[in-house]
A and B are shown apart, each in its own frame.
Chain A
Amino acid sequence: MLKCSELFANYGSVAALKGISIEVQSGEIVAVIGSNGAGKTTLINSILGFVKPHKGTVIFEGQDITNIPAHKTTNLGISVVPEAREVFYSLTVKENLRMGLKKEIGKVKQQELEDRLVHLFDTFPRLKERINQQAGTLSGGEQQMLVISRALISNPKLLLLDEPSLGLAPIIVNEIFEIIKTLKKEGITIVLVEQIANKALSVADKAYVIENGKIVMSGSASELKENKDIAKAYLGV
């Protein structure tokens, strides 16, 4: 479904990706594990078209999307939960969710929207109570739930999750990983970028470990879980 080949990209003037290749099959959860500054977010931004790689290609469903800007790639069936969340603070929860419909916003009928909201509220019940509240008044965890819902409301083919656990209380982090498991059951394809390796490996099928813009290890999640080096570097054992 998604194939990045030999991506080279800069973050500012620093080389952040130095030849990264990853492959994601339909229905898979693929984890990308690495510490701060390893190039994880630059990878997500290169897939989205927010950062222009100076070498390499990104192929999504057979289409070369390497040089397509973010506002277009996100209309191809790719949704993102960005690292910085990027909530529309002054808009209401419902308006934030409507933004998630992207270019479809004019085509999705009122009833269809309500149906999709009801479906989301199964997984995110707290958003229902806050539907008409300004998003800026939500707690950090609720904002993250909102952003995940916003990414899901368009029924994307591919979901990019950029450190969804960042800055959240452990209890909320657990909740988010439970949600990722639910999404997996629904068959949605996910690229999950994480620092918390054990959490990521517990939900992923496959994982890549990146360091300094290069892939240093890859394999099935169960293989990597057994790996002593990973345990040492990322699991704090």
Chain B
Amino acid sequence: MEEALASLVQAILSGLAIGCLYTLIALGYNLTYVVNGTVNMGQGQLVMIGAMLMVTFTTFLDLPFFIALILVGLILGILGILLEVISVRKFVQDKTSVNWVLSTLAVGIILQDLALFIWGPEETRLVSPVGEGMFEFLGAGIYWKELMMIPAVGVFLLLLMLFYLKSHWGLWLRATADNKVATNLNGVNSNYTVAIAFGLSALLAGLAGGLITPIYAVFASMGLSLGLKAIAVAIVAGLNNAKGIVICGLGLGIVEVLVAMYISPGFREMIVYIVVILILFIKPNGLFGTKETIKV
């Protein structure tokens, strides 16, 4: 009995840890979706670039883990802005166009091939900044390197929330999400704020990629499955609902670990995606999403 409880606690904690990363990536979709109805289909590849840069910065340049992480975030932020200018802006001028789906996907594939060329196909894994020790709790053991995701992501999300709700940049982003015409009529270039949203989105992907390095194998094609899982989280939660995305991101992490533990690791993704389809079948706008109303 106690053993069962211990393994349940352990599953939930390590589920939360990986769920934090899904949340971080999935919020990136939310940030851009609300400002112009698009998402970066290459978000997963940005996570991969973040992870690769992290490995390079910490092992070749010997930078401390968290300094490297911030640097990775900033670089990815700039990359995100470029990505918006190159592969989104021109492709959404016609509201019915879905060319941005292909163009952002294409950028993702290009980045993946570039990564393969630069870093090669080998898998690497970083030594954790908090070592390989275990945290013992109610008889359960969880690696510190997994557990540290929770406070790290918590701090990032708190900062993001403060930025979004308190700074005038955040106000500009929310204004753009609400009404682009009004934003321009109030002296703020909405092209500019949309680019900032993509920058922030990529910054989150970069942070997730950096954080994942001690617990996940890093390789050039790691991005696709992470990107897909995160977009599943965002869609199931409702792309326009950030709180819902946090709940679903954490939920996905826990469900995955539980399925792997109690059913079979091989069924993990299959069961997750069956649940995704079921939820969307019943609630087309996602669990927490609201239908966009036409403004009059």
A88 touches B188 (CB 8 A): no
A105 within 8 Å of B (CB atoms): yes
Partner of A71, one of B168, B178, B184: B184
B179 within 8 Å of A (CB atoms): yes
B291 within 8 Å of A (CB atoms): no
With A88-B178, A88-B179 as given contacts, are A105 and B168 in contact (CB-CB < 8 Å)? yes
Partner of A103, one of B184, B188, B190: B188
B188 touches A91 (CB 8 A): no
Chain A positions within 8 Å of B189 at CB level: 69, 71
Chain B positions within 8 Å of A106 at CB level: 168
B186 within 8 Å of A (CB atoms): yes
Partner of B178, one of A50, A84, A90, A98: A90
Bound-complex Cα distance A75 to B185 (A): 9
Bound-complex Cα distance A69 to B174 (A): 21
Bound-complex Cα distance A86 to B189 (A): 15
Bound-complex Cα distance A90 to B290 (A): 13
Chain B positions within 8 Å of A99 at CB level: 171, 175, 182-183, 186, 188
Binary interface encoding of chain A residues 75-89 relative to chain B, with 1 for a CB under 8 A from any of its CBs, else 0: 100001010101111
Chain A positions within 8 Å of B190 at CB level: 71
A71 touches B171 (CB 8 A): no
B182 touches A70 (CB 8 A): no
Partner of B185, one of A82, A95, A103: A82
A86 touches B181 (CB 8 A): yes
B266 within 8 Å of A (CB atoms): no
A88 touches B184 (CB 8 A): no
Dominant secondary structure at the B interface: helix
B187 within 8 Å of A (CB atoms): yes
Binary interface encoding of chain B residues 168-202 relative to chain A, with 1 for a CB under 8 A from any of its CBs, else 0: 10010011011101111111111000000000000
B168 touches A100 (CB 8 A): no
Chain B positions within 8 Å of A52 at CB level: none
A74 within 8 Å of B (CB atoms): yes
B295 within 8 Å of A (CB atoms): yes
Shortest beta-carbon distance, A26 to chain B, in Å? Answer: 21
A69 touches B184 (CB 8 A): yes
A48 within 8 Å of B (CB atoms): yes
Shortest beta-carbon distance, A137 to chain B, in Å? Answer: 14
B178 touches A103 (CB 8 A): no
Bound-complex Cα distance A48 to B181 (A): 12
Chain B positions within 8 Å of A206 at CB level: none
Bound-complex Cα distance A154 to B188 (A): 14
B186 touches A102 (CB 8 A): yes
Partner of B179, one of A50, A80, A87: A87
Bound-complex Cα distance A80 to B185 (A): 7
B185 touches A48 (CB 8 A): yes
Bound-complex Cα distance A74 to B182 (A): 11
Q: In chain A, residues 20-71, which have Cβ atoms closer than 8 Å to a Cβ of chain B?
A: 48, 50, 69-71
Shortest beta-carbon distance, A100 to chain B, in Å? Answer: 6
Partner of A98, one of B168, B179, B185, B295: B168
Partner of B175, one of A80, A91, A103: A91
Shortest beta-carbon distance, B163 to chain A, in Å? Answer: 14
The 4 closest A-B pairs by CB, nearest first: A102-B187, A86-B182, A71-B189, A75-B187
Q: Chain B interface (Cβ within 8 Å of chain A)?
A: 168, 171, 174-175, 177-179, 181-190, 295
Could you pull out 8 A-B pairs where Cβ atoms are within 8 angstroms? A50-B185, A74-B186, A74-B187, A86-B179, A88-B175, A95-B171, A99-B171, A102-B186
Interface contacts beyond A71-B190, A86-B181, A102-B187: sample of 6 additional A-B pairs, CB < 8 Å, sorted by A: A71-B189, A74-B185, A88-B179, A89-B295, A98-B168, A103-B187
